[in-house]
Every structure is written in structure tokens, then in C-alpha cells.
């Protein structure tokens, strides 16, 4: 099985994307390689550390790619947390701050039953605002958040400080 070092070697740095001064971590080479893609999901699933997970929650949009696979590995259901206006049923909403303004994420009101054990998965932990909003939505539903798992963490942005989770892990840190 490929290792975290193999994943790291495949991730491409793209300077000045999506805007000047940003060094974007491009995960598409990982997604395009069957062995690396599988390894990434298996490493993310390890965050659950033997817990029986009921649902894996993925954050819009790249988090869906990984969370759905992790759910399959763990024998759990998959639940999307989407940007405002993208879910077709009644939802709970949570606003969060961005560098310039505010955004909102939503989850279906019936997506998680109280007490269900949850693993939250996303591709990237940067400033932590989106993940923190997702965790607040899980609390509204009385979910039992077991852990949060990220493929990449940008440590200098200190997003982990906003994450209210019993365990938070990242496969790769920069």
C-alpha cells in the first residue's frame, strides 16, 4: 500500500491559484492514480481507530470524493454537508466567516439520528471555518462526533484551533 510520503510526492503545488499569493495543493494526481486514491481513503478511515462509525460526513465538494470512499471502507452511510441552496430537503444552516464576507453550509435535518457516531472527512483543513461550521451542524443534530480527518492540513493557518472534535488528524501537513 502506498504511504503518506507517496501521497505527498504526488500532490502538485500550483502557485498563485486561485489568486495571487496562494500556493494551491492540487490533489488531482492522487485522484487519478487508483492505488494512491485507495490509500488516501484507507489512511483517512484509520482516524476512526476501531470505532463503529454510523455515518461519514463529507464537506462540499472535494470532501465528498474522499468521504464516500471512507464510508464504504467503514461500512457506514455517507452524509453530505453542502453549500447553501444545494440540498433538496429541509435543512439546518450554519453561517461562517470567510476572509472577505460570510458563507453558509447546510445538512438535511433527517440526515443523522441523535447519538449516531460520526467521522467528518474533508480534503483540506486551512483556516478551519468550514469544518467548524460543519461540526456545529452535527451538534445541532445531536451526533456523536468521533473524529475529524483531513487529507491535508495547512498548519500555518491554524485551522485546528477552531475544530471542536475529540480527535483531529491530517494525513499530510504543510
Q: Residue 133 belongs to a domain with what CATH number?
A: 3.40.50.2020
Instruction: Identify the active-site residue in 62, 116, 155, 169.
Output: 62
The C-alpha cell that represents 5 in the structure block: 510520503
Q: Is residue 78 part of a domain?
A: yes
Q: 113: which DSSP letter?
A: -
Q: Is residue 1 part of a domain?
A: no
Q: Is residue 35 part of a domain?
A: no
Q: Is residue 40 part of a domain?
A: no
Q: Is residue 7 part of a domain?
A: no
Output the pTM of the full model.
Answer: 0.96
pLDDT at 153: 98
Instruction: Identify the active-site residue in 99, 106, 116, 167.
Output: 99
- Burial state string for 109-142 with b = 16 or more CB within 10 A and e = fewer than 16: eebbeeebbbbbbbbbbbbbbbbbbbbebbeebe
pLDDT at 101: 76
Residue 62 is a catalytic residue: yes
Q: Is residue 34 part of a domain?
A: no
- Burial state string for 4-28 with b = 16 or more CB within 10 A and e = fewer than 16: eeebeebbeeeeeeeeeeeeebebe
Look at the chain and report how many structural domains it folds into.
Answer: 1
pLDDT at 97: 87
Helix or strand holding residue 35 (H, E): helix 34-45
Q: Is residue 6 part of a domain?
A: no
Bridge partners (DSSP) of residue 79 are 57
57 lies in which domain range?
Answer: 48-173
Residue 155 is a catalytic residue: no
The C-alpha atoms of residue 63 and residue 60 are separated, in whole angstroms, by 6
Q: Decide if 159 contacts 127 (C-beta within 8 A).
A: yes
Q: Decide if 147 contacts 47 (C-beta within 8 A).
A: yes
Q: Is residue 143 part of a domain?
A: yes
What are the pLDDT digits (tens) for 94-122?
A: 999 876 678 999 999 999 999 999 999 99
pLDDT at 94: 97
pLDDT at 99: 66
pLDDT at 64: 98
pLDDT-flagged residues of the chain (< 50): none
Helix or strand holding residue 131 (H, E): helix 129-140
Amino acid at each position: 500500500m502506498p504511504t503518506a510520503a507517496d501521497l505527498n510526492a504526488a500532490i502538485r503545488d500550483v502557485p498563485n491559484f486561485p489568486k495571487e499569493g496562494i500556493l494551491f495543493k492540487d490533489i488531482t494526481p492522487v485522484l487519478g492514480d487508483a492505488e494512491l486514491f485507495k490509500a488516501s481513503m484507507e489512511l483517512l478511515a484509520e482516524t476512526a481507530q476501531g470505532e463503529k462509525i454510523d455515518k461519514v460526513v463529507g464537506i462540499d465538494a472535494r470532501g465528498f470524493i474522499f468521504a464516500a470512499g471512507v464510508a464504504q471502507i467503514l461500512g457506514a452511510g455517507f452524509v453530505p454537508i453542502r453549500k447553501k441552496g444545494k440540498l433538496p430537503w429541509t435543512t439546518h444552516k450554519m453561517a461562517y466567516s470567510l476572509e472577505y464576507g460570510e458563507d453558509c453550509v447546510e445538512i438535511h435535518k433527517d440526515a443523522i439520528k441523535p447519538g449516531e457516531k460520526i467521522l467528518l472527512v474533508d480534503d483540506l483543513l486551512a483556516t478551519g471555518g468550514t469544518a467548524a461550521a460543519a461540526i456545529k451542524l452535527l451538534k445541532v443534530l445531536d451526533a456523536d462526533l468521533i473524529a475529524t480527518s483531513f487529507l491535508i492540513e495547512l498548519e500555518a493557518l491554524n485551522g485546528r484551533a477552531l475544530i471542536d472534535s475529540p480527535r483531529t488528524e491530517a494525513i499530510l501537513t504543510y
